Amino acid sequence: MSRNARINALLLLVVVALAVLPLALGMGDHKEEPFTGADAQAETAITETHPDYKPWFSPLYEPPSGEIESALFSLQAALGAGVLAYYFGLRRGRRQGEERALAGARDPGRGE
């Protein structure tokens, strides 16, 4: 197994452990909604400490259900990942093209 394969396997193992361990260890069992987002937890903490708090503004769009909100968040994450993958792929392709052009300029009789 090459060094890169070992590093990738180790990273995959760490990601799986981060996803599975909180569930396996029962973290958050004492809460009504154990794995809510940070926004919901912050809102709860604010209303507990300052019950008369008034928000500065309201959301532009409030999804009708949590499932739609999750779907929109997932779509946003997928679009962001796609843009990043495109950018890094484009950079790598350009770099490889430049390397091939330089190699061809150094050795014109190579016959690629």
Largest CA distance in the chain: 79
pLDDT digits (tens, 9 = 90+) for 46-99: 989 998 988 888 888 888 988 898 899 999 999 999 999 999 999 999 999 999
At residue 17, does pLDDT exceed 70? yes
Which DSSP symbol is given to 109?
A: G
pTM over 0.75: no
